[in-house]
Amino acid sequence: MSIRLRAMAVLAAVATLLVGFASTASAHGTTIDPPSRNYGCWQRWGSDFQNPAMATQDPMCWQAWQTDTNAMWNWNGLYREGVAGNHQAAIPDGQLCSAGRTQGGRYRAMDTVGDWKAVNKSRNFTVDVYDQAFHGADYYRVYITKQGFNPITQALRWSDLELVTTVGKTPPQEHTFLNVNAGSRTGRHIVYTIWQASHLDQSYYWCSDVNFS
């Protein structure tokens, strides 16, 4: 590669980083523990997102970075507006993790079926919602996939989920901890969290991959 082309490639990478940081600074929020799929990819690879080793070490994140890098830089922007509480009507089966291909399909790679990195959790755990913009909540709803669902081979449908936790009106605060009981579940599951923000009719949707020990 010529010096000129190499310089152009470096400038392009820097521009991507700056766009990402600017978008992150505008702030909304996500689940950081267990991490949403795009937040986990940003957390693990944000400082090294062009590393080809990701393809073998973390292939689901690799395909996500290749699909749209802004889905990870904008880990706090996975929401829809104007849903009016009709979540199942707004988001089709198979598109739950991307909030129905919201933001022009930016987060579509989150719906890709495969072996996403999962964090180990006990059956009683907390979901840490990072309300970066201090929106507050009208409510939170936490779902977990039913026993027998296999997130490695199956696309997520509403019928695969069971509502396990509901928390009502919550004031703006940086972190909200939602207590969750997974019952008798074991093995791999998806935790699906809906945050209905209070400042607007703005609904956030996050898939987090867990392994119940």
Largest CA distance in the chain: 59
Which has more confidence, 12 or 66? 66
- The helix or strand, by DSSP H or E, that contains position 119, with its residue range, turns out to be strand 119-121
Q: CA distances (Å), 136 to each of 23, 43, 166, 188, in order?
A: 20, 24, 15, 30
The band of 24, judged by pLDDT with boundaries at 50, 70 and 90, is very low
In the chain, the domains with their CATH numbers are 3-212 (2.70.50.50)
Q: pLDDT tens digit string along 123-168? A: 999 999 999 888 899 999 999 999 999 999 999 999 999 999 999 9
What per-residue confidence (pLDDT) applies to 200? Answer: 78
Q: Say what angle helices 37-45 and 59-67 make with each other, to 10 degrees.
A: 100
Task: Please say if the pLDDT value at position 69 is more than 90.
Answer: yes
